[in-house]
Structure 1
Amino acid sequence: MSKQEPTSVVPPVAGIRLDLWLWAARFFKTRSLAKQAVETGKVEVGGQRAKASRVVRVGDELQVTRGEEIFQVVATGLSDTRGPASVAQTLYAETEASRAAREQLRATRAAERNGYRAPETKPDKRARRLIKALGDIDAL
């Protein structure tokens, strides 16, 4: 007697949900934060806004805005589980232009705060009055 072979073969996973991929690639700490970022337009796939349920495939170009940083990446792998950072970095490849822009922005921010020195102690009564007086100037 011969065994019957299944008539339908399940193909391998061709894509994964966008919010799940962003979470697995460690762009966001939780899946709900990834979903919220997608819904508020901070994630674009192929230059267009996407929904959280959009399927990400290998080769898709994504632009992820996280705070002041903008990542332009190409999906190189798919995963629905969040692993260590070394594994998450294999899921995408950042473009050189994006990496250079982020480094430039980071250097600019560091230069801006380079001249600032935080006070070592709390302001005394006289200093608080001067600070308050400076704040009143803006109200004029």
Structure 2
Amino acid sequence: MPEKEKLRIDKYLWAIRLFKTRTLAADACKAGRVKLDGKNIKPSYEVKLGDVYQVAKGIERKVVRVVGLLENRVDAKTAVGFYEDITPVEQTQAFKSMFHAPILKRDRGTGRPTKADRREIDDLKDNFFETEEEE
């Protein structure tokens, strides 16, 4: 892929596959979810090699360093070569752990939990979300 000298941030974020559409990338910039050195940037901001951007996408947070400029959207394996994901490990693990929370489910038709059942459920919930640091 030929590299360009001037490239908009919304187009870059779309090309490296952080956003599904360029419109979503532009909207994220306008809403202040894309930052450079802690400052909001506009969708028309020019991307430079070595810049580090903080991108918030829903509950997910990413920190991305620009390694190469990519004008057109390419497959995911190729796109990875044009940025470096430098998101701290704590943020990455915190995001992933949200999807491994226990799902408490009762069988249909068993009725409401008794007082003893309710206490067991509460204890299970409390113990799961405690971390080793809190104990």
TM score, norm. by length of structure 2: 0.71
Q: CA deviation at 1:119?
A: 4.9
Q: Structure 2 CA distance, aligned partners of 1:96 and 1:48?
A: 18
Counting matched residue pairs gives: 110
Matches within 5 A, 1:92-103: 92-95=83-86, 97=88, 99-103=89-93
Distance 1:96 1:79 in 2: 21
Q: What is the rounded CA distance, in whole Å, between the counterparts of 2:107 and 2:21 in structure 1?
A: 37
Larger Rg: 1
Q: State the identity %.
A: 29
When the two structures are superposed, what TM-score results if normalisation uses the length of structure 1?
Answer: 0.69
2:35 paired residue number: 44
State the match for 2:95 in structure 1. 105
Structure 1 distance, partners of 2:79, 2:106, is 40
RMSD: 2.2
Corresponding residue of 1:132: none
Q: Deviations over 1:53-111 (max 9, x none)?
A: 000011011000011111011110111111100111111111152x441123312x145
Give the SS at the match of 2:5.
coil
Q: Give unpaired runs (5+ residues) of structure 2.
A: 113-135
Cα pair distance change 1:37/1:13, threshold 3 Å: same
